[in-house]
C-alpha cells in the first residue's frame, strides 16, 4: 500500500501555532526557517526603517517586514516571505487579514554567511518569476547589495555607493555603508 503526502494550504499555514520560527510553503510543502542571527536582524531592521520611512513620507505604498507572507501560487500553494517587501500604492488596495495575494514589487533578501549562494539565487529567481520587479540581495559578509531586475539586469552596490532602484522605489537613496552601522 502506498503512502499519501498531505500538501499544506496557505489557510493551514496561517493558522499554525507560533513556534518562534518562520515558515513558508513551496508548492504545498512546509519549509521551516531558523531564526536569524544578530547581524542579519540588525541589518534587516536598519534597511526596513530607512525604506519604510521614505515610502511612507512619499506615500509610495507599503513596506512589509519578514513575517509577512505573499501567496504566489495556488493548488498547491506557495507562500514566501522576504526579509523586507515593498508593494506600490497602485497595486496594494486594502490590506487583507491573511496573506497578500500578489508578489511584492521589491523583495529584499538579507544574506548571512549560513545561506548558500545557490539557495539565494534560486529564491531570487522565484521572486522574479512570480512578478517582483526587483530583488535586493543584501550581503552581510562583504557589505554589498546586489540589485537584480526582472529584465535580467544586475548591479552591485558597494559601501561607498548610494543604493537606488528608481524603477521600483522612485527617488530612494541610501549610502550602503549606513545599512551596516
pTM strictly above 0.85: yes
CA-based radius of gyration for the chain = 16
**Band (18; pLDDT cuts 50, 70, 90):** confident
In tens, the pLDDT along 100-154 reads 999 999 999 999 876 677 788 999 999 999 999 999 999 999 999 999 999 999 9
**Band (36; pLDDT cuts 50, 70, 90):** confident
In tens, the pLDDT along 65-107 reads 888 999 999 999 999 999 999 999 999 988 988 999 999 999 9
Cα 50 from Cα 95, distance rounded (Å): 22
Q: Is the pLDDT of residue 1 over 60?
A: no
CATH 3.30.460.20 for domain 37-65+80-179, yes or no, is no
Mean pLDDT over 156-173 rounds to 97
Task: Give the H or E element holding residue 137.
Answer: strand 134-139
Quick check: helix, strand or coil at residue 148? Answer: strand
Q: Is the pLDDT of residue 34 over 90?
A: no
- pLDDT attached to residue 52: 98
- pLDDT attached to residue 40: 87
Q: Is the pLDDT of residue 164 over 90?
A: yes
Of the chain, the percentage scoring pLDDT greater than 70 comes to 96
**Band (3; pLDDT cuts 50, 70, 90):** low
DSSP codes joined into one string, 34-101? PPP-HHHHHHHHHHHHHHHHHHHHHT-EEEEETT--EEEETTTTEEE--SEEEEEHHHH-SPPSS-BS
Cα 66 from Cα 145, distance rounded (Å): 18
Cα 155 from Cα 163, distance rounded (Å): 10
Long-range contact list for 171-180, CB < 8 A, 24+ apart?
A: 171/54, 171/58, 172/51, 172/54, 172/55, 174/47, 174/50, 174/51, 176/143, 176/144, 176/145, 177/143, 178/46, 178/50, 179/43, 179/46, 179/47, 179/50, 179/138, 179/145, 180/43, 180/46, 180/140, 180/143
- pLDDT attached to residue 43: 93
- pLDDT attached to residue 114: 64
Amino acid at each position: 500500500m502506498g503512502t499519501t503526502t498531505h500538501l499544506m494550504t496557505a489557510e493551514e499555514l496561517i493558522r499554525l501555532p507560533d513556534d518562534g520560527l518562520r515558515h513558508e510553503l513551496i508548492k504545498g510543502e512546509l519549509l521551516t526557517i531558523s531564526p536569524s542571527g544578530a547581524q542579519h536582524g540588525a541589518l534587516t531592521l536598519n534597511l526596513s526603517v530607512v525604506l519604510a520611512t521614505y515610502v511612507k513620507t512619499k506615500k509610495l505604498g507599503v513596506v512589509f517586514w519578514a513575517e509577512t507572507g505573499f501567496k504566489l501560487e495556488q493548488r498547491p500553494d506557495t507562500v514566501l516571505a522576504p526579509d523586507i517587501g515593498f508593494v506600490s500604492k497602485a497595486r496594494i488596495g486594502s490590506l487583507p487579514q491573511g496573506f497578500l495575494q500578489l508578489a511584492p514589487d521589491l523583495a529584499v533578501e538579507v544574506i548571512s554567511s549560513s545561506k548558500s549562494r545557490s539557495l539565494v539565487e534560486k529564491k531570487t529567481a522565484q521572486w522574479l518569476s512570480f512578478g517582483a520587479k526587483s530583488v535586493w540581495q543584501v550581503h552581510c559578509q562583504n557589505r554589498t547589495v546586489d540589485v537584480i531586475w526582472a529584465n535580467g539586469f544586475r548591479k552591485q552596490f558597494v559601501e561607498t555607493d548610494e543604493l537606488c532602484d528608481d524603477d521600483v522605489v522612485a527617488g530612494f537613496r541610501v549610502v550602503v555603508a549606513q545599512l551596516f552601522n
